[in-house]
Structure 1
Amino acid sequence: MPEEPIRITEPFLDVVEAFLAAPDHELHGWAIIKTTGRGGPTVYKILERMAAMGWVTARWEALPDEPNRPRRRYYRLAGIGVTKGGALVAERRPRPLVSSYRPALGGGLR
């Protein structure tokens, strides 16, 4: 049975948000590092935790290694990760509602 996160940290939430914003909820490790601004050891430790929780799955890129670029490992947010991760981000990082109302020029209060 997947385990629940013991401790929810800002870096953990950053990684979840990166997945939620990605097409198909799939990213490789370097993209997560660049998106979140977090260091590699931090991101990969979070990915290990998320895998142990059943929130992500991983696969190796099918292409052979190219010079100066190793094969990438892609991580995909699983259904439970989308559901629980989305709820967790919504709870911990609520966004203010943005009004679509824009007053016309010169239409302010007098």
Structure 2
Amino acid sequence: MTEQPGRITAPLLDVLATFIAAGGNELHGWAIIKESKRGGPTVYKILERLTGMGWITARWEDLPTEPDPSEPNKPRRRYYKLTGEGATRAKALLAERRPATTRATLRPALEGGHL
């Protein structure tokens, strides 16, 4: 199920721009919060909305069978990724609402892989 977001806000555009800058890589919530410069509750509400619309997929990371002794209480991360249609729609929405935003101006730190 893919649909158009009912309300297009600056935080939504910031989160979408973060995904586009990631170049198709998965991102975990903290990385999205950090890169979009938006608060956790705002970002997670947007991620929930985008998941429900079919623009992104979400998965929990697999925990190793043996916990890392240096991080014994590390919680599992949830990873998010744009779907093909989500990427197409996000790019179109950003082009319409933020035409000055180009790949060259988005943070290149996201382009390397998992964050």
Query: Do these two structures clear the TM 0.5 threshold for a shared fold by scoring above it?
Result: yes
- State the alpha-carbon separation in 2 of the partners of residues 12 and 38 from structure 1: 10
- Equivalenced residue count is 97
Identity %: 66
Correspondence 1:84 to 2:89 = yes
- State the alpha-carbon separation in 2 of the partners of residues 13 and 27 from structure 1: 16
Larger Rg: 1
Q: 2:54 is paired with a residue of what secondary structure?
A: coil
- TM-score, with structure 1 as normaliser: 0.80
The residue aligned with 2:75 is 70
- State the alpha-carbon separation in 2 of the partners of residues 58 and 96 from structure 1: 26
Change (3 A) 1:73 1:91: same
Gaps of 5+ in 2: 103-115
Amino acid at match of 1:32: I
Gaps of 5+ in 1: 98-110
Q: 1:14 is paired with a residue of what secondary structure?
A: helix
Amino acid at match of 1:78: T
1:96 Cα shift?
A: 7.7
The residue aligned with 1:46 is 46
- State the alpha-carbon separation in 1 of the partners of residues 101 and 19 from structure 2: 21
Quote the RMSD (CA, aligned, Å).
Answer: 1.8
